[in-house]
Amino acid sequence: MFVARDGAEALDFLYGRGQFAQQPNGDLAAVLLDLKLPKIDGLEVLEQIKADPALKSIPVVMLTSSREEQDLVRSHDLGVDAYVVKPVSFYDLVGTIKQIGLFWDSINEPPDSVSC
């Protein structure tokens, strides 16, 4: 698991740029993305992921505190695979993240041509 501090760092990691140039990121099971990332927000990161043929098959889960209809609609318009509202308590958040990871890594079955 890798945790980016902001959207720019997330994109650098995904593209193997900057401090991540020599570090292979391997096959990603999924990307958990927050709408309210500093520098480059989650919607911009999502848009870049889904516009790139090399990254667009990676499942992206928007994990956010926003219940705004416009955020949900915009996320789906950009190709998000799931939109999950964060629970309030840290304990519940950890459980939610574990369930998301289990689903995308173990339960979900992508086509053979998609490497997750």
Amino acid at 63: L
Count up the domains in the chain and report the number: 1
Contact criterion met (CB below 8 Å) for 7 and 13:
no
On whether residue 112 sits in a domain, the answer given is no
**Count of CB atoms within 10 A of residue 26's CB?**
7
Residue 116: per-residue pLDDT: 45
**Owning domain of residue 21:** 7-107
d(CA 107, CA 105): 6
Contact criterion met (CB below 8 Å) for 106 and 98:
no
Residue 109: per-residue pLDDT: 67
Q: Domain with 23 in it: what CATH number?
A: 3.40.50.2300
Residue 26: per-residue pLDDT: 66
SS3 content of the chain, % helix, strand, coil (to 5): 40, 10, 45
Residue 110: per-residue pLDDT: 63
Residue 18: per-residue pLDDT: 87
On whether residue 81 sits in a domain, the answer given is yes
DSSP string, 94-106: HHHHHHHHHIIII
Contact criterion met (CB below 8 Å) for 80 and 61:
yes
pTM of the model: 0.81
On whether residue 2 sits in a domain, the answer given is no
Residue 114: per-residue pLDDT: 47
Q: Mean pLDDT for each consecutive 10-residue tract of the chain (116 residues)? A: 89 90 75 92 96 91 89 94 88 85 72 51
Amino acid at 109: E
Residue 115: per-residue pLDDT: 46
